[in-house]
């Protein structure tokens, strides 16, 4: 019987693992798309609250609804500041390059109707004016104003003062800010006409090194509208009216002074219109509690440096304490902290003693001067103390307070010098 060997199992073929189809290569990003990403990163900046006098002055003038003109060299950041201001105030920004427009772009383009003899000719406004009226608010930025020819400047007069473009009137929610380069650095620049210049608050726009460096690093200052205290509004208006009216009553030539020089006519100068603007700005700065530096930028940018400084000095005198109050309580009456105001208050006290000389008033003035020397810069008392020493009468004893001032000025010798004898040479 034949035996069969067990059948060998057939060799198995390894199963082939299917290879997935190759995916198509992802398309390379377009070069401009990558550039757009880089530009987005460069434009990703932030803002921070930062004390900035010129920015606060600009914001206050815009809040006061006064046209502002920023003067600065090219590339100084005027346009960037206006862009950030519009963002912070949540106002749509409309930029109009004044020098590339015709006069009719501001006065309106005449459009003939069916019967112009009976209906007249309509002055059609430009599209940017229509958008501003439709939105009801916005920041109108008139750039390159100093390169606008005289005919365009004349057409801008009605826009800046009456807020009219063609047949449209800009709504109260629209603010007007312009920018200009000095004639020496402007391309084909023109001097600003006197009527147009007198309608603006002129602010000199400069750069601060640390602000530029920090801004290029990604953080720019934020334009924050200074808070207006509702409780201070009536007092602010009264304060501003007393200051401006008091100064002009004492100095009538300041009411209107047209500069003789053509260049100065293109800047701030005093007129009834600009004094009205200055009064409004003093009220706003007072209600906001702004610093003297901000107030100085505003008033000098409205009526000019000379009249502006006179108004500031007048405001200082208004804020000084009454000399009689200081003489009544020389040991405890509060003295101004700022040096120039403190010296003015002390000189006012000496003038009050000169007008009504008396032993007790003379002694009180010395007590006040000694306290001023101990609580502030001693050099501030030198001039008023020297004048006070000369007011001594022969029968007035030298008060002990003079000795406390010996370090500042040799007053004892001046006060005790023998009175001149008549008839002796």
User: Among 168, 202, 222, which residue terminates a domain?
Assistant: 222
Report if residue 40 sits inside a domain: no
Determine contact, residues 325/331, Cβ cutoff 8 Å. Answer: no
User: Among 199, 222, 245, which residue terminates a domain?
Assistant: 222
387 shares its domain with 253: no
102 shares its domain with 172: yes
Cα(143)–Cα(148) distance, integer angstroms:
10
299 shares its domain with 388: no
- Report residue 65 CA to chain centroid gap: 13
Determine contact, residues 273/235, Cβ cutoff 8 Å. Answer: no
- Report residue 208 CA to chain centroid gap: 15
386 shares its domain with 255: no
Please give the chain's pLDDT, 425 residues, in tens.
445 555 555 555 555 556 666 556 566 667 788 888 899 999 888 888 877 888 899 999 999 999 999 998 888 888 888 888 888 888 999 999 988 888 888 887 777 666 566 656 667 788 899 999 999 999 999 998 888 888 899 889 989 988 998 888 999 999 999 999 886 665 566 888 999 999 999 999 988 888 888 888 888 877 677 788 888 899 999 999 999 999 999 899 999 999 988 888 999 999 999 999 999 999 999 999 999 999 999 999 999 999 999 999 889 888 788 889 999 999 888 888 888 788 888 988 999 999 999 999 999 999 999 898 888 888 888 888 889 988 988 888 888 777 777 665 554 445 445 445 444 44
Report if residue 102 sits inside a domain: yes
386 shares its domain with 336: yes
Cα(29)–Cα(32) distance, integer angstroms:
8
pTM for this predicted structure: 0.73
Secondary structure letter of residue 21 according to DSSP: P
C-alpha distances (whole Å) from 359 to each of 305, 349, 373, 395, 401 are 43, 14, 21, 9, 14
In whole angstroms, how large is the CA radius of gyration of the chain?
A: 36
What residues contact residue 120 under an 8 Å CB cut-off, 6+ apart? 113
DSSP state letters, 333-365: S---SSHHHHHHHHHHHHHHHHHS--HHHHHHH
The domain total for the chain is 3
234 shares its domain with 206: no
User: Among 162, 195, 222, which residue terminates a domain?
Assistant: 222
- Domain enclosing residue 151, as ranges: 46-112+121-222
Report if residue 185 sits inside a domain: yes
């Amino acid at each position: 019987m034949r035996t069969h060997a067990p059948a060998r199992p057939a060799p198995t073929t390894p199963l082939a693992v299917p290879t997935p189809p190759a995916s198509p290569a992802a398309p390379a990003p377009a070069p401009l798309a990558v550039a757009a990403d880089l530009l987005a990163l460069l434009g990703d900046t932030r803002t921070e609250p930062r004390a900035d006098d010129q920015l606060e002055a600009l914001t206050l003038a815009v809040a006061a609804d006064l046209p502002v003109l920023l003067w600065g060299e090219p590339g100084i950041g005027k346009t960037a500041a206006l862009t950030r201001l519009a963002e912070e105030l949540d106002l749509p920004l409309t930029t109009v390059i004044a020098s590339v427009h015709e006069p009719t772009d501001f006065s309106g383009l005449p459009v003939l109707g069916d019967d112009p003899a009976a209906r007249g000719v309509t002055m059609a406004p430009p599209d940017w004016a229509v958008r501003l009226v439709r939105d009801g608010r916005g920041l109108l930025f008139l750039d390159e104003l100093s390169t606008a020819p005289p005919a365009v400047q004349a057409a801008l007069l009605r826009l800046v003062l009456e807020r009219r473009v063609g047949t449209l009137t800009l709504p109260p929610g629209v603010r007007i800010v312009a920018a200009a380069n000095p004639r020496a650095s402007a391309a084909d620049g023109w001097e600003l006409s006197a009527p147009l210049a007198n309608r603006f608050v002129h602010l000199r726009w400069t750069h601060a090194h640390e602000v530029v460096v920090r801004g290029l690093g990604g953080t720019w200052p934020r334009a924050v509208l200074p808070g207006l205290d509702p409780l201070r509004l009536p007092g602010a208006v009264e304060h501003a009216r007393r200051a401006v009216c008091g100064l002009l009553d004492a100095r009538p030539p300041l009411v209107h002074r047209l500069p003789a020089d053509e260049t100065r006519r293109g800047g701030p100068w005093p007129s009834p219109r600009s004094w009205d603007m200055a009064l409004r700005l003093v009220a706003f700065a007072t209600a906001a509690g702004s610093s003297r530096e901000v107030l100085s930028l505003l008033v000098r940018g409205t009526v000019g440096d000379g009249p502006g400084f006179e108004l500031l000095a007048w405001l200082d005198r208004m804020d000084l304490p009454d000399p009689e109050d200081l003489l009544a309580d020389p040991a405890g009456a509060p003295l101004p902290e700022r040096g120039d105001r403190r010296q003015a208050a002390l000189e006012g006290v000496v003038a009050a003693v000169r007008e009504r000389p008396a032993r007790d008033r003379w002694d009180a003035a010395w007590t006040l001067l000694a306290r001023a020397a101990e609580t502030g810069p001693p050099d501030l008392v030198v001039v008023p103390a020297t004048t006070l020493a000369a007011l001594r009468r022969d029968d007035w004893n030298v008060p002990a307070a003079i000795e406390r001032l010996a370090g500042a000025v040799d007053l004892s010798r001046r006060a005790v010098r023998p009175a001149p004898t008549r008839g002796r040479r």
